[in-house]
Chain A
Amino acid sequence: MSSQHFIPPMVMFRIKHNYGMIEEDLYRSGQPNELNFPFLEKLGLKTVVWLASEEPNQRFLDFIDDQEIQFHNLGVISSVSTWDPITEEVVLEAFEHILNPHNYPMIIMCNLGRHRTGTIVGCLRKLQKWNLTSIFEEYRRYAGPKVRVLNEQFIELFDTDLVRVPVNRPKWL
């Protein structure tokens, strides 16, 4: 391309830190800001599963409203302290949404996209029958130096028999 000044023909996407693809049409990330909205818009999301104990910021709520996205806030029914792993109750309720393909494309979010989201994804991998080391490897990749052993323990002890898998389930399972 020539060196002359030009206006980029398309939007440059700024992707939320800790954004990732879990499976086809199933994504994860931390709380997005308005710079990430053009990218999120392209995902054509139908559902947001929210796990942080705080409410998302107003701009993101407006975005959700604007895009007519279903919003499930599971953060409110979470643990006593923010340091504790999320409860089994939250994971099972999240799975009610995650295992329903009608809700896709879907994104799972918490504040930083590390711990609560990572724990849910860990349980999901367990349901997919991944071996534990690989599950933790993925969890740590997103948690970085902030790995929480209690979250790993939660994943290890999580009983996948408690999950009700519907007949019409996503194809990755």
Chain B
Amino acid sequence: MLPPLIPPFRYAIVEDEVYRGAYPKKRNYRFLKRLKLKTMLSLTPDPPVPELLEFCQSQNIRNIRLEVSKVKDNVPLSYSSAIQSVQIIIDPSNLPIFIHCLDGANVTGLVVTCLRKLQMWSIPSCMSEFLRYLRGGVISSEESEFIEKFTGEIEIPSTIPHWLWGGRVTSNKHPRLKLKFLDPRVVEQSEQKKDGKNIEVDNKDDYRERVNGIIFNF
């Protein structure tokens, strides 16, 4: 009988073909092989160990490393690294992707939170997911500030994964983030196609939106 499969510590699936976890060890390689990864995003203070790079090479996985600081008492991730990470994740040509930091908690968690913001998750929803991966169950004030103040600017590729806005860009505005469209044609020109009936429906949506906004801000 085969030995059990050992996923990386704090392993989880974020979205279809997007996975997260702690620094992969040799015992995790058999598990990782099955994910058929195309990209591994390493958010670490030091370059990946040779063993990990060899694994990536042997499996034809592109390893992208973004440096994060070692300091733990502040937020170790910079906005520019967070933006770069999100841009890598929403590019379908990089999927399937495995995102990891040292322990799979804070740094990876912050990147996922930024992704959730882009996916239109409300801040409390982002926070409750972030919290699930932390030791001690406490979000530091610096981290929550980081999450709330994250505004982009995020470059949106010409095609996006199906789990982002249903795979379609129907608006060039995001309520919380600045977006830049690499190909402006991806934005569906729904505005121009409106006939009377559609406008009525849209107004209803706006109404629902405002009600939700009130509940949310409250």
Q: Check A142 against B209 for contact (C-beta < 8 Å).
A: no
Q: Tell me which residues across on chain B come within 8 A of A14, comparing CB atoms.
A: 122, 124-125, 212, 216
Q: How large is the interface on B (under 10, 10 to 19, 20 to 34, 35 or more residues)?
A: 35 or more
Q: Which of A42, A129, A141 touches B133 (beta carbons < 8 Å)?
A: A141
Q: Tell me which residues across on chain A come within 8 A of B121, comparing CB atoms.
A: 12-13, 15
Give A132 to B3 CA distance when docked, in angstroms.
12
Q: Tell me which residues across on chain B come within 8 A of A130, comparing CB atoms.
A: 4-7
Q: Check B165 against A10 for contact (C-beta < 8 Å).
A: yes
Q: Separation in Å of the A27 CB from the closest CB of chain B? A: 10
Between A and B, how many residue pairs show CB distances below 8 Å?
97
Within A15-73, the residues touching B (CB, 8 Å) are: 15, 17-24, 35, 42
Give A138 to B213 CA distance when docked, in angstroms.
33
Q: Does B128 contact A (CB under 8 A)?
A: yes
Q: Check B216 against A12 for contact (C-beta < 8 Å).
A: yes
Q: Does B170 contact A (CB under 8 A)?
A: yes
Q: Check A10 against B125 for contact (C-beta < 8 Å).
A: no
Interface of chain B: mostly helix, strand, loop or mixed: mixed
Q: Tell me which residues across on chain B come within 8 A of A132, comparing CB atoms.
A: 4
Give A18 to B125 CA distance when docked, in angstroms.
10
Q: Does B16 contact A (CB under 8 A)?
A: yes
Q: Which of A1, A15, A23, A35 touches B13 (beta carbons < 8 Å)?
A: A23
Q: Does A166 contact B (CB under 8 A)?
A: no
Q: Check A35 against B215 for contact (C-beta < 8 Å).
A: yes
Q: Check B132 against A11 for contact (C-beta < 8 Å).
A: no
Q: Tell me which residues across on chain A come within 8 A of B183, comparing CB atoms.
A: none
By beta carbon, the residue of chain B nearest A12 is B122
Known: A8-B209, A144-B137. A128 touches B119 (CB 8 A): no
Q: Check A129 against B213 for contact (C-beta < 8 Å).
A: no
Known: A134-B11, A137-B10. A11 touches B208 (CB 8 A): yes
Give A99 to B208 CA distance when docked, in angstroms.
37
Give A11 to B212 CA distance when docked, in angstroms.
8
Within A115-147, the residues touching B (CB, 8 Å) are: 128-132, 134, 137-138, 141-142, 144-145
Q: Does B196 contact A (CB under 8 A)?
A: no
Q: Tell me which residues across on chain B come within 8 A of A138, comparing CB atoms.
A: 11-12
Q: Tell me which residues across on chain A come within 8 A of B54, comparing CB atoms.
A: none
Query: B: which residues have CB within 8 A of A?
Result: 2, 4-7, 9-16, 119-122, 124-125, 128-129, 132-133, 137, 165-166, 170-171, 173-175, 178, 205-206, 208-210, 212-213, 215-216
A-B complex: 5 closest residue pairs judged by Cβ atoms: A8-B175, A15-B125, A9-B171, A131-B4, A21-B13
Pairs across A and B, CB under 8 Å, 29 listed? A6-B175, A7-B206, A8-B209, A9-B173, A10-B120, A10-B171, A10-B174, A11-B209, A12-B175, A12-B212, A13-B120, A13-B121, A14-B125, A15-B125, A18-B132, A19-B129, A20-B12, A21-B15, A23-B13, A24-B16, A35-B212, A128-B5, A129-B4, A130-B4, A130-B6, A131-B4, A131-B6, A134-B9, A144-B137
Query: A: which residues have CB within 8 A of B?
Result: 1, 6-15, 17-24, 35, 42, 128-132, 134, 137-138, 141-142, 144-145
